[in-house]
Structure 1
């Protein structure tokens, strides 16, 4: 995923290694978790009446997050284990799918370039920070990005026997889904990171097709 950056040119005339060391001090102020931290979350409920009178209720319960030290073991890495349960109840025998997931966002990304032999880049989705410093270069810092982590990965063969993957569970009338200790990881994030759960439900009746989304409470992951 490409990230646009904003150049910082305020007196960055020192060697690239020195600049990187100075910025690294800022990473530690982001407060990446070094010990497991359990975060109970309130879940929630939402009720919507469709145009044909069908009543849809989406509820999330037992939601929690356990923030733990990442194997990357640097302030650029985050790791959290999430659990919860969601259900959908409809009147009139509606059908559809229920899909849980999390939006995970990073505050800042770091990058830079100083000619053919010097570069610093960041990809917080998994590659982390790579640096080669052979001469002075310009550093840049830019806005982070939000990524949609889908909790479910349901495998099913299609009509031709090929493997399909789905992130939503089908239901008819009522349905539910539970997840336990699903891991969300962030690498190369040069600032605070935050996550927020959601449950996205599609509803189909004889006359109406609609979507209902329940959002959980945002929480910091360091």
Structure 2
């Protein structure tokens, strides 16, 4: 009985030791997790109505921000989700073809299209530069480069201080009047080369072809990527 008690005490000590070690490991993991925790950013819905008969709506937008696996201090990753909806009441019936240069015809706004009206959505990403409404209205778009992409894969971009890029998530041709939607879930954008702060914001563009060409853009709320 004495042996049993001793064994019980030893087991209790071992259990206490294992418990303490597990607690220490857990504390370490929690500390590591706190330093490298993902940040979830819920973002507001938005809508824009154009006199040209176009209504753009964005709903269920969010971003999940993580440190880059490269752990170099100049990289980070963001997973973005949302739904972009375009309601188009009138559009010429286009024919999908190769991209062509600006037509220069009256009412065309000197636009370049690939033959159809289109819904296009993605994100503007900037390094150490504000991409708020006043910056865009001041002509920030003239400095922006475009990076293609799609909802099915990871998009990697390199950004230096003061650089801004459009990162396209997806696009959809609008062949006839109607309602069109792009739904994306956890689309990954990896940013490298930006040692300072980075910002992003959603954009959704609807272009309607024809002699009365129109371009309607809805921007989302800017958010920090760290």
RMSD of Structure 2 on Structure 1 (CA): 2.3
Q: Secondary structure at the match of 2:196?
A: coil
Query: Under a length normalisation based on structure 2, what TM-score does the superposition of the two structures give?
Result: 0.57
Aligned position for 2:60: 62
Aligned with residue 176 of structure 1, among 173, 181, 205: 181
CA deviation profile, 1:32-72 (whole Å, cap 9, x unmatched)? x721111000130000112xxxx210000010000112111
- Equivalent position to 2:80, from 56, 79, 82: 82
Following the alignment from structure 1 to structure 2, what is the Cα–Cα distance between the partners of residues 143 and 83?
26
Match for 2:47 among 45, 50, 72?
45
How far residue 94 of structure 1 moved from its aligned partner, in angstroms, is 5.7
Between Structure 1 and Structure 2, how many residues are aligned?
141
Distance (Å, rounded) in 2 between the aligned partners of 1:47 and 1:105: 27
2:204 is equivalent to residue 202 of structure 1? no
Q: How does 1:1-222 map to 2 (within 5 A)?
A: 34-50=36-52, 55-92=53-90, 96-107=117-128, 125-126=157-158, 143-152=161-170, 168-171=171-174, 172-173=176-177, 174-204=179-209, 207-222=211-226
- Select the structure that is richer in helix: 2
Flag the structure with more relative contact order, 1 or 2, with Cα contacts below 8 A and sequence separation at least 6.
1
Report the CA distance between 1:188 and its aligned residue. 1.9
Stretches of structure 1 lacking an aligned partner (at least 5 in a row) = 1-32, 109-123, 129-141, 153-167
Which aligned runs of 4 or more in structure 1 are off by greater than 6 angstroms? none
- TM-score normalised by length of structure 1: 0.58
Q: Which protein has the bigger strand share? A: 1
Paired residues of 2:57 and 2:84 also in contact (CA < 8 A): yes
Q: Which has the larger radius of gyration?
A: 2
Q: Is the 8 A contact 2:161 2:194 kept in 1?
A: no
CA deviations over 1:57-106 (Å, ceiling 9, x no partner)? 00000100001121111321111000110111122456621000111111
